[in-house]
């Protein structure tokens, strides 16, 4: 493969896998934020409700900006090192410097770690997620749970999950509710 094709290929990969997602995510997030701020709110309510809604909107904006920033910070090193490998090492040096292998590994690690950070970010800005996470891992409430291992179907043919954790005292009422609400 000639040098020009390698340069063109790596440039297209950087555009398609890094810069295009940034543009698409940025446009989508701008539309979401724009719609969020301009959406009419029925029944404005008292000042505390308006203040609470504005606080929620601000948290959404912070989360969106943070998700974009984390994406850029995670994937930018890989794009830089990949472009460096094609344009500097192949064209000028012919061999990679001694530090290149370690930095290349670290850049891939950071890029793939983006998948780790997204659920943490989304969950970190959601109060319900944090409370559920705390209850699950801190074992608050000391409720007794029973595991139900059946594949029963309700009257509409929906299959129940393989394992469903239900509090012992409400298991029968939830089963009846599940079949009557669908």
What are the C-alpha distances in Å from 137 to residues 116, 134, 164?
Answer: 19, 5, 17
- From CA 100, how far away is CA 90, in angstroms rounded? 13
Is 100's pLDDT higher than 70?
A: yes
pTM for this structure? 0.65
Taking only the tens place, the pLDDT of each residue in 163-176 is 444 444 444 444 44
Taking only the tens place, the pLDDT of each residue in 115-170 is 999 888 888 888 887 788 778 888 755 554 444 444 455 555 555 443 444 444 44
Q: Can you give the pLDDT at residue 179? A: 47
98-111 b/e (C-beta count within 10 Å ≥ 16 → b): eebeeebeebeeeb
The mean pLDDT of 39-49, rounded to a whole number, is: 72
Taking only the tens place, the pLDDT of each residue in 10-33 is 999 999 999 999 999 999 999 999
């Amino acid at each position: 493969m000639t040098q020009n094709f390698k340069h063109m290929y790596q440039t297209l990969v950087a555009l398609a896998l890094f810069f295009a997602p940034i543009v698409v995510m940025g446009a989508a997030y701008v539309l979401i934020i724009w719609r969020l701020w301009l959406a009419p709110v029925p029944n404005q309510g008292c000042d505390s409700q308006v203040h609470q809604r504005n606080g929620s909107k601000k948290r959404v904006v912070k989360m969106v900006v943070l998700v974009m920033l984390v994406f850029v910070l995670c994937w930018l090193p890989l794009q830089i090192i990949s472009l460096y490998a094609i344009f500097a090492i192949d064209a000028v040096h012919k061999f990679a410097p001694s530090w290149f292998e370690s930095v290349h590994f670290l850049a891939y690690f950071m890029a793939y770690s983006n998948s780790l950070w997204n659920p943490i970010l989304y969950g970190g800005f959601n109060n319900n997620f944090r409370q559920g996470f705390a209850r699950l891992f801190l074992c608050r409430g000391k409720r007794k749970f029973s595991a139900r291992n059946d594949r029963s179907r309700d009257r509409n043919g929906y299959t129940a999950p393989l394992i469903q954790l239900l509090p012992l005292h409400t298991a029968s009422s939830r089963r009846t509710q599940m079949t009557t609400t669908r």
